Each structure stands twice: as C-alpha cells, then as structure tokens.
Structure 1
Amino acid sequence: MKQKPNDEQDNKTEFISGRHPVLEALEGERPINKIFLQKGIQPSFAAKIEKLAKQKKIIISRVPKNRLDELTKHQNHQGVLLTIAAYQYATLSEILKRSAQQETAPFLLILDNIEDPHNLGSIMRTADAAGVTGIIIPQRHAVQLTATVAKTSTGAIEHVPVARVNNLVQTVKQLKKENFWVFGTDMTGQDYRKWNAQGAVALIIGNEGKGISPLLKAQCDQLLTIPMIGHVQSLNASVAAGLLIYQGFTSRGN
C-alpha cells in the first residue's frame, strides 16, 4: 500500500527499502532525494551505499533502527531506505518503440485488475528475468506502482516499463490492429505447454479471484490452461503468470 505523505515524503515521492531494491534504485535513472542508513550497519554495505551516494551527490542521513522502523511502518527494511521520485509510467507507444529498437518481437503482459501489490511485484520480477517487453495495467480497480511493489520486485521495477491505460479492451483491440496475437487463461483453454509465443504477443493475466473479465476474454485469439491434478484447482496469480511467461520465453527460442 502506498504510504501517506509525512514530513519526509510528499505526493511526488516514494519510499524504497531493502538492500537489493535500494541498490537497484541507486543504479537507475530516477532522481533520489535522500538516503536513510541505519547506524552501526555492516561496514562493507555502508561503504557501497556511500560510494554510490557520493557519485550521485545524494545526502545520507544516519538514523537509529527505530527511526527506519517508523518510516517503513515496521517492514523489513534491512537497515536502509531512500526517498525517490514517484514511479513514472510509460506509454504503450514508448514500450513498442523500445521493442523495435531491440529488434525483437514484443512480448507484452496485460494484467486485468491485479489487486495484490506482492503479486504485481513478483510478476515484474519474472517478467524482467524472461525479457518481457513491458506490462500494461488499468488505471482503476487495480494495484499501481508502489513502494511495496518495488520491494517485492527486488529491483525489476527499475527495468520493466509499465503503461497505464483507461480501457484494457480498447487497448487489446489496438494491439490486434498492430498484428499482435492475444492470449488469455481459462479452465477450458489449450494446454499452456503447447503454446507457441513467437511473433508479437500479448498475454493476459486475470484478477486473483475473478480471472479475466468476459469482455476482455472475448478479445483473445486463444485461451490457455495450466493442467492441475491436485485437489486445489487454482494457482496464485504470480505463480500462474510465472509458468506462462516461461513457456512463452522458451517457445520464442530463448
């Protein structure tokens, strides 16, 4: 959940905590306002943070652990936190342009009202590992890019562009006009292990409880299913996304 503004943060900044997410942010392009480093933290890690901060001329404030606990609402901050400019969303055209520059067929993820920030963060982590071109999310009724998403993504949020759109159905129609094949998930779909994701593709991952909305499902060129033989006939959204993303990754010859 996005933290409320206080004396250290306003509506144009976010908190990032945790060693790996902080290091990824320091190596990224977004402006960083300030670093909070726990007093008495491991010297080798402190030296790494100090070196990066000096290169970017960022102020470091050494604070006791209870101050970091307070700023992070008692999350596991691992002794470091920074305030950074709020996440900037890409446009769909920017994502497609990025793919053209890389001379690879685009592989997009469309997230239909994912609500759990931990699911979004985990999906971003897998997307980055598998070379997904970009992610599309709706502006309403879905989790946005927050500090929790950033931490769960372990830095992937700095590398995977995310576009917000007003209407997912209209966005899918636009993609189909640009020769994308659109795939979704459904219990009656084809075994995902037979999915060939070569070419320009968009994969839709549905809401944690409701799945893909009927109007969006109607736009899919093909539906995929993950076979299950156990007693529980459903998977966590990020787990299902991970299986599908890597099938797409493998079938594209990676």
Structure 2
Amino acid sequence: MAGNTRRPGATRKAGTKKGAQVGTGGHGRKALQGKGPTPKAEDRTYHVAYKRKQEAERRKAAEARKGAAKGVARGTRRATDGAEVVAGRNAVLEALRTDVPVTALHVASRIDHDDRTREILQIAAGRGLALLETTKPELDRLTDGQVHQGVAVQVPPYEYADVDDLLDAAEVSGRPALIVALDGVTDPRNLGAVLRSAGAFGAHGVLVPERRAAGVTASAWKVSAGAAAHVPVARATNLTRALAELKKAGCFVVGLDGGGDTEVGDLQLATEPLVLVVGSEGKGLSRLVRESCDVVASIPIDDAAVESLNAGVAAGITLYEVAKARRAES
C-alpha cells in the first residue's frame, strides 16, 4: 500500500537524495574500459586445457632426455660433436680403404652381410675401431635419412693448421715452399682433388678461406684418397692478408686464370718458393686476390667449347708442371 512505511526500502535515508548531474563527470568510465582479448583456454591456469598442455610438455621433455641418453650410449648424432657421418657400404668401405680417420663404425643389428661388409669389418678389426651394433631407426637418425645399407662411420672434425705451419713444413723438407691456395672454391670434392694432387706432386699444404669456402669434410677426405691425412690444410680469416704474409716470407704468388699472360708450362717462377692460387670454376679469382698475385698464369685449352677447368683439374695440371720444372733444375 502506498505510504506504508513498514515496507523495506519504502523510505529514503537522510542525505542520500540524488541531485541533478550535468554530464557524467567521469562517472562510469572505468566500467566502459575493455579487459583485453580473452586468453586461450590452454593459457588459463584454472582450465583443464592448461593442465593438458603442461602434461604434454612434461612428456616431450622426458622423451628428449630418453633420446639423449640413447645418443650417448649408442653413438647417435648428438654424440658426434661436429663429426661427419659417412653412410652406405661403398662409401664406408672407400673411407676405410683410404685411411680416413674413423672414430666409430655403426653396423645394423640385423644386417645381411656381403663381400663389402665383411671387408669393412675386417679393416675395422685391424684398426681397432669401435664397433657399435645399432638399430635401423637409430641409423636413420644418425645419417639424417640417407641410404645407409646398414653401415655408417663417424669422422671427427678436422684440425686445421696455420699459415706458419705450412712454411715450417717447407723448411723441414729442405725444398722451396709450394702451397696451393683456393679462392672461392666451395665444393669439398674439389678440395679433396686438390689435396690428392698436392700429395702427389710434393706440395707442402693447402690454404683455404675460413668463410664461403669448402672445408675438410668427409667428402673431401674420400676424394683425397688419404692425402688429407698427410697434407696439412690451413684456414685464413682473410685470404688476401694471408697471401701478403706469404709474400713477406719470400713466396711468389701465382694466380691461375684463363686470361693469364703466361702459360703454366712456361712459368719462370716454378723453382722459387711459390703459392698457386686457384679460383672458383664460375667466377675465377676475386679482384683483391688477383691484385695480390705477382703473375697470373693460364692453362691452354685446345677446345674452345670448354671455357674452364674445375679447381681440382687446374691445380693438378699446374702442380705437375711445377714439379717437372723443379726436377729438371735439380
């Protein structure tokens, strides 16, 4: 009933009467502000999706630890520490035949042996190599999916020499220094071929840049036919500066280029301390390296259709001509 003062809320307390307001004066502004996008369910700590995510991450971490333990025990890629892996029966047999410094031999636990695998095991036993019986899935991981045919070997990282080491090797030999420098050669097979020729014709070492150049990998070891074991390879941070150091030490620098003024067979400096610089097949010698050369020599080619020779072939021909000139003088 109207005017019934017993009904709760029917009367207004003193001092609570609302007066007229002009504008909001900021009243309600906070209520109008947004709270941002709603977090994903997996990011809300109270949500079941968050608990599932945490559990999945724990399982993944446990599997990673388990895989790491297998790697240490059985020689998977984690245990290689930068080592190269050679896979396949022919490749492994060739690596062992040419005295590549193998540290471990992996053989599948259930492998069908043939003449190649029998010879592999025989060489490994003779060299005292660690023989690791490995499952096929582990071999697949170790070789990054290569066709391994049940066998793979690990090759340790190569220990590079310094430029001074090459000069020391020349001094010990009692012969004028003969060093091959590679400028922009990125194919390790070309490096391997250069090492093979360097070993055959008495070079004291090979010099390569530290960046944008081929290093001594398993492929280089194989192509070198064992020469990488006794021909030192030095790395230079800056090839141009390294050539300048060699010139200060008394070496003449001869670059190989198709447009050279002198043919390698007529090279007058062949009997002097010498650095032969071989450029890449495509670009040849870089500008700064070419400017560092005392002489630029060329290899005559009869067939005009052949524009250039690859680094391995060019180095082999030039080293042969230098060795022939030195034999003639002695």
Match of 2:125 in 1: 50
Match of 1:205 in 2: 278
Q: Which residue of 200, 225, 243 corresponds with 1:172?
A: 243
Mapped partners of 1:79, 1:210: distance in 2 = 40
Relative to the length of structure 1, the TM-score reads 0.83
**1:199-243 deviation per Cα after TM superposition (whole angstroms, max 9, x unaligned):** 310000002211111111111111111112312221222211211
Match of 1:10 in 2: 80
- Is the contact between residue 92 and residue 153 of structure 2 (CA under 8 Å) also seen in structure 1? no
1:129-140 to structure 2, matched below 5 A, reads 129-140=200-211
Matched, 1:93 2:167: no
Bigger drift between 161-170 and 39-48 goes to 39-48
Matched, 1:109 2:183: no
Per the TM alignment, residue 174 of structure 1 is displaced from its structure 2 partner at its CA by 0.9
Bigger drift between 209-218 and 145-154 goes to 145-154
Task: Return 5+ residue gaps in structure 1 as ranges.
Answer: none
Match of 1:243 in 2: 317
Per the TM alignment, residue 108 of structure 1 is displaced from its structure 2 partner at its CA by 0.1
Mapped partners of 1:47, 1:181: distance in 2 = 47
Matched, 1:151 2:222: yes
Q: CA separation of 1:69/1:236 partners in 2, compared to 1, >3 Å: closer, same or farther? A: farther
Q: CA separation of 1:251/1:64 partners in 2, compared to 1, >3 Å: closer, same or farther? A: farther
Task: Return 5+ residue gaps in structure 2 as ranges.
Answer: 1-70
Match of 2:131 in 1: 60
Q: CA separation of 1:202/1:46 partners in 2, compared to 1, >3 Å: closer, same or farther? A: same
Amino acid at match of 2:271: Q
Q: Matched residue pairs, number?
A: 241
SS in 2 for 1:135: strand
Amino acid at match of 1:138: P
Amino acid at match of 1:193: G
Amino acid at match of 1:195: L
SS in 2 for 1:228: coil
Mapped partners of 2:145, 2:310: distance in 1 = 26
Q: CA separation of 1:194/1:74 partners in 2, compared to 1, >3 Å: closer, same or farther? A: same
Per the TM alignment, residue 80 of structure 1 is displaced from its structure 2 partner at its CA by 5.0
Bigger drift between 177-186 and 188-197 goes to 188-197
Q: Which residue of 230, 246, 267 corresponds with 1:195?
A: 267
Amino acid at match of 2:85: F
- Is the contact between residue 137 and residue 163 of structure 1 (CA under 8 Å) also seen in structure 2? yes
Mapped partners of 2:197, 2:189: distance in 1 = 12
- Is the contact between residue 166 and residue 205 of structure 2 (CA under 8 Å) also seen in structure 1? yes
Per the TM alignment, residue 64 of structure 1 is displaced from its structure 2 partner at its CA by 7.9
Q: Which has more strand, going by share of residues? A: 1
**1:142-197 deviation per Cα after TM superposition (whole angstroms, max 9, x unaligned):** 12221222222222221211111111111111111111011012313211111241
Q: CA separation of 1:78/1:90 partners in 2, compared to 1, >3 Å: closer, same or farther? A: farther
Q: Which has more helix, going by share of residues? A: 2
- Is the contact between residue 183 and residue 204 of structure 1 (CA under 8 Å) also seen in structure 2? yes
Amino acid at match of 1:217: R
Mapped partners of 1:175, 1:248: distance in 2 = 18
- Is the contact between residue 155 and residue 218 of structure 2 (CA under 8 Å) also seen in structure 1? no
Q: CA separation of 1:20/1:44 partners in 2, compared to 1, >3 Å: closer, same or farther? A: closer
Relative to the length of structure 2, the TM-score reads 0.65
Amino acid at match of 2:252: W
Mapped partners of 2:273, 2:285: distance in 1 = 21
Mapped partners of 2:136, 2:322: distance in 1 = 44
Mapped partners of 1:73, 1:104: distance in 2 = 47
SS in 2 for 1:188: coil
Mapped partners of 2:149, 2:179: distance in 1 = 33
SS in 1 for 2:327: coil
